[in-house]
């Protein structure tokens, strides 16, 4: 299988670059520039290397660099933004501050030519975001595109197969970005597009079957996409040797606990232990008011419950985790073994003795995990679920948490979700839910004055959850939802819609 190395210099779109490569069925790995040597790159046999963007200027003293020997290593190279400037710098060019000529946003790319721009028009739109620029190409390079403000928007050294683009081909605003990346992969690196999800899945199931043969495996199942896909995949590999512990902390959405149990036990035949710990969590949370306190209590109690279950089960060899690629990259670990010996795992205390950890999804992006889920026959409503925070409704009930408030919020939230899904607006809304404020307000029902809660509806539209827009939901939908909640849920006297984007707001209220 051909592989591309994405060498990370700290740019915000780095994971996107790897995804764009994988979309074209070539496997891409991200490694921090300081975490891999040229010798390792050569030994690993990568078909090509991509230098990513980054926030630095190559002239800063401590700016991230890589050895210039990579230019002579015979491996095709594509530098993007900071990576382009670094390529030019390593090759001996002058890179300058584009004082009056920094560019940000959609820009017209002109006079595009050469192999990297095969089947790309001479003029098209690209996405720029830079202050430095390459003033003149270094020896051996020729200019292959420009913009009005940037004399070297792209350059190429066909002999050494080194290419650089000042703009970002990986973002969708660059009209022919996909084609440019495809040209690098297939015209320059001559990759074979054979990375397929089916193969990944077959290989991974086979590998887990071999490496986990005869071992007892334990997984904490939450019902979220990652742990669900991990569960089904491992079940295919080791069958009844997999035990899933599903801790129901009582702060899930309406009927969610039953749905998870039904799906995994009845439909897929998994060995699942459901622990109904709602009362226990509620008691621990009884005095908590602040969000971080709630999160801490829930995290700690979760571990306790899980530990008790593991101890009751007796002998367990392997702990399974639903770690996915962004978790690995963000934690900066980058180790690529799927099964490794246990030293310490986020959230699981050291004294818990598992000889091994297995993380079958650790090479996959979220959308790839969803694809694997579909291939495993997991129903669409499960695979394309919106994210739900670990602490659940605890961070959607402002202030004190009570059983009554949980029940009230579950009802209101279910109505909102039902109406939004009925209106088929899931494509627009990435995450949508209700929030129970701790404020009461006056209303009137029939002839009587009421004094019930103010309930907020929240819906956001986003790709990455790092920034988000409030969803422009139709008034009719909001009206229908509000009217149903006010009629069907006792003790709510007012419904409001949250129109805060992120930033400055966050998705959750707590
Ligand atoms: P915020 O509120 O930080 O949310 O804008 C971004 C995304 O993260 C989810 N979120 C959490 N997930 N534990 C989780 O597992 C948490 O404590 C938590 N807080 C927020 C949130 O639902 C959104 O998708």
pLDDT digits (tens, 9 = 90+) for 432-487: 999 999 999 999 988 899 999 999 999 999 987 878 899 999 999 999 999 999 99
Output the pLDDT for position 332: 58
Pocket of ligand 1 (CB under 6 A): 295, 387, 389-391, 431, 465, 502, 506-508
Nearest CA to ligand 1 atom 16: 389
Q: Provide the 3-class DSSP secondary structure of residue 472.
A: coil
Nearest CA to ligand 1 atom 12: 389
* Distance separating alpha carbons of residues 141 and 88, to the nearest angstrom: 9
Pocket residue to mutate for ligand 1, from 222, 327, 387, 435, most atoms within 8 A of Cβ: 387
Percent of all residues in the chain with a pLDDT value above 90, rounded to a whole number? 79
Q: Which residues of 27-66 are buried (b: 16+ CB within 10 A; e: fewer)?
A: bbbbbbbeebebeebeeeebbbbbbbbbebebeeeebbeb
How distant is the alpha carbon of residue 440 from its chain centre? Answer: 37
Output the pLDDT for position 95: 81
CB 145 within 8 A of CB 111: yes
Residue 388 alpha carbon, nearest atom of ligand 1: 22
89, two tokens: 């710098």
Residue 257 CA, ligand 1 centroid: distance in Å: 20
Q: Which of 103, 170, 359, 419 is catalytic?
A: 170
In sequence order, which residues have a C-beta less than 8 Å from that of residue 184 and are 6 or more positions away? 48, 50, 76, 78, 116, 163
Output the pLDDT for position 353: 67
Residue 502 alpha carbon, nearest atom of ligand 1: 5
Nearest CA to ligand 1 atom 20: 389
Nearest CA to ligand 1 atom 10: 389
List, in sequence order, the alpha helices (H) in 272-389.
278-285, 291-313, 325-330, 366-375, 380-383
* Distance separating alpha carbons of residues 29 and 21, to the nearest angstrom: 10
Residue 386 alpha carbon, nearest atom of ligand 1: 24
Q: Which of 103, 130, 168, 368 is catalytic?
A: 168
Pocket residue to mutate for ligand 1, from 465, 466, 468, most atoms within 8 A of Cβ: 465
Compute, in degrees rounded to 10, the torsion defined by CA atoms 67, 68, 71, 75: 0
pLDDT digits (tens, 9 = 90+) for 302-346: 999 999 999 999 989 999 999 998 787 766 554 556 665 554 444
How distant is the alpha carbon of residue 202 from its chain centre? Answer: 23
Residue 506 alpha carbon, nearest atom of ligand 1: 5
Pocket residue to mutate for ligand 1, from 507, 509, 510, most atoms within 8 A of Cβ: 507
**Catalytic (active site) residue 173:** no
* Distance separating alpha carbons of residues 107 and 169, to the nearest angstrom: 12
CB 184 within 8 A of CB 158: no
Q: Which of 48-57, 258-267, 326-335, 395-404 has the lowest mean pLDDT?
A: 326-335
* Distance separating alpha carbons of residues 365 and 112, to the nearest angstrom: 32
Which of 364, 77, 50, 24 minimizes the C-alpha distance to 193?
24
Nearest CA to ligand 1 atom 3: 506
pLDDT digits (tens, 9 = 90+) for 377-422: 999 989 999 999 999 999 999 999 999 999 999 999 999 999 999 9
Output the pLDDT for position 172: 85
Residue 225 CA, ligand 1 centroid: distance in Å: 15
Output the pLDDT for position 13: 84
Nearest CA to ligand 1 atom 22: 389
Its pTM surpasses 0.95: no
**Catalytic (active site) residue 208:** no
* Distance separating alpha carbons of residues 228 and 261, to the nearest angstrom: 11
- Region 61-85: mean pLDDT is 95
**Catalytic (active site) residue 202:** no
Output the pLDDT for position 351: 65
């Amino acid at each position: 299988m051909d592989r591309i190395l994405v060498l990370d210099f700290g740019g915000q779109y780095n994971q996107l670059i790897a995804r764009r490569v994988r979309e074209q069925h070539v496997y891409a790995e991200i490694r921090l520039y300081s975490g891999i040597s040229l010798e390792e790159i050569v030994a690993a046999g990568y078909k090509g290397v991509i230098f990513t963007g980054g926030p630095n200027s190559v002239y800063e003293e401590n700016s991230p660099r890589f050895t210039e020997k990579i230019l002579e290593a015979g491996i095709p190279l594509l530098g993007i933004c900071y990576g382009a400037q670094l390529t030019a710098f390593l090759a001996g060019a002058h890179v300058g501050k584009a004082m009056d000529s920094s560019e940000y946003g959609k820009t017209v790319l002109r006079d595009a030519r050469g192999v990297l721009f095969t089947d790309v028009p001479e003029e098209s739109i690209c996405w720029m975001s830079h202050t430095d620029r390459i003033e003149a190409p270094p020896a051996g390079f020729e200019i292959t595109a420009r913009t009005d403000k940037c004399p070297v928007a792209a350059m190429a050294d066909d002999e050494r197969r080194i290419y650089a683009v000042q703009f970002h081909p990986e973002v969708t605003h660059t009209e022919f970005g996909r084609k440019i990346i495809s040209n690098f992969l297939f015209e320059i690196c001559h990759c074979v597009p054979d990375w397929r999800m089916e193969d990944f899945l077959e290989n991974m199931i086979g590998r887990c079957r071999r490496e986990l043969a005869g071992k007892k495996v334990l997984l904490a199942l939450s019902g979220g996409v990652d742990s669900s896909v991990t569960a089904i995949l491992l079940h295919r590999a080791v069958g009844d040797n997999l035990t899933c512990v599903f801790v129901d902390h009582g702060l899930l959405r309406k009927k969610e606990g039953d749905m998870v149990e039904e799906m995994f036990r009845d439909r897929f035949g998994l060995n699942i232990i459901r622990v109904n710990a709602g009362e226990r969590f509620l008691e621990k949370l009884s005095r908590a008011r602040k969000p971080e306190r709630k999160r801490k209590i829930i995290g700690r109690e979760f571990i306790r419950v899980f530990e008790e279950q593991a101890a009751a089960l007796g002998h367990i060899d392997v702990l399974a985790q639903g770690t996915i690629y962004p978790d690995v990259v963000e934690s900066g670990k980058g180790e690529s073994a799927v099964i490794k010996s246990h030293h310490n795992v986020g959230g699981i205390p050291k004294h818990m003795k598992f000889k091994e950890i297995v993380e079958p999804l650790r090479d996959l992006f979220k959308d790839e995990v969803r694809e694997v889920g579909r291939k495993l026959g997991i129903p669409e409503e499960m695979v394309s679920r919106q994210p739900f925070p670990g602490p659940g409704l605890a961070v959607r009930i402002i202030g004190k948490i009570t059983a009554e408030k949980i029940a009230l919020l579950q009802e209101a939230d279910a109505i909102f979700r039902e109406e939004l899904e009925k209106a088929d607006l899931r494509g627009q809304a990435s995450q949508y839910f209700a929030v129970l404020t701790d404020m009461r307000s006056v209303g009137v029902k029939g002839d009587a004055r009421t004094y019930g809660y103010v309930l907020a509806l929240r819906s956001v539209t986003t790709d990455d959850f790092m920034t988000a827009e409030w969803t422009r939901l139709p008034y009719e939908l909001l009206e229908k939802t509000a009217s149903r909640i006010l009629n069907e849920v006792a003790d709510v006297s007012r419904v409001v819609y949250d129109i805060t984007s992120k930033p400055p707001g966050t998705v959750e209220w707590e």
